[in-house]
Each structure stands twice: as structure tokens, then as C-alpha cells.
Amino acid sequence: MDAKNIKVTQGHEEIRKLIKAREVRDRFGGVSASTLYRYWHDYKILPPPAKIRGICFWSAADVEWAVQQVVGAVHA
């Protein structure tokens, strides 16, 4: 699994799991890179990625929430 842990400090310390675009695409059922781009840029399903040395990362919690929203919309 492509995951990184970083410390984010905003009044207190927390650990956030970050995942790369490939894993995010897999969690959305294997969507293309273009579709993933549309999810955050056009449809605002995901927040913009954090870029670290040119690699896009998303918070695992944000991705899980977004997947649940998409799955809920499909099954509604």
C-alpha cells in the first residue's frame, strides 16, 4: 500500500494517513487519472491533493468519505 504518515499541527498533534493517486483511483473502482482529476477539480467530490515533490496525495479519511458519498449516490 502506498501510504505516508505526516504530522500536522494545528493546536494539537495528529497523525494523518496520506495515499497516492493510484490508490485513490483504485478505491473509486479503478477510475482513470482524468476522472480522478474531474472528481476534485470539476465536481468537488475530493479536496485538492497535497503535492509533495510533484506527487499527489490525499488524506485517507477524505477519500473514504468521498467514496461513501459516491457509493451512496449510486445506490440511492
Predicted TM-score (pTM) of this structure = 0.74
The DSSP line for the chain is: --EEEEEEESSSEEEEEEEEHHHHHHHTTS--HHHHHHHHHTS-SSPPPEEETTEEEEEHHHHHHHHHHHHHHHH-
Query: What pLDDT was estimated at residue 11?
Result: 52
Domain that holds residue 22: 3-75
- Residues in a beta bridge with 7: 15
How many domains is the chain built from?
1
Per-residue pLDDT of the chain (76 residues; tens, 9 = 90+): 445 555 555 555 556 899 999 999 999 999 999 999 999 999 999 999 999 999 999 999 999 999 998 877 766 6
CATH code at position 56: 1.10.1660
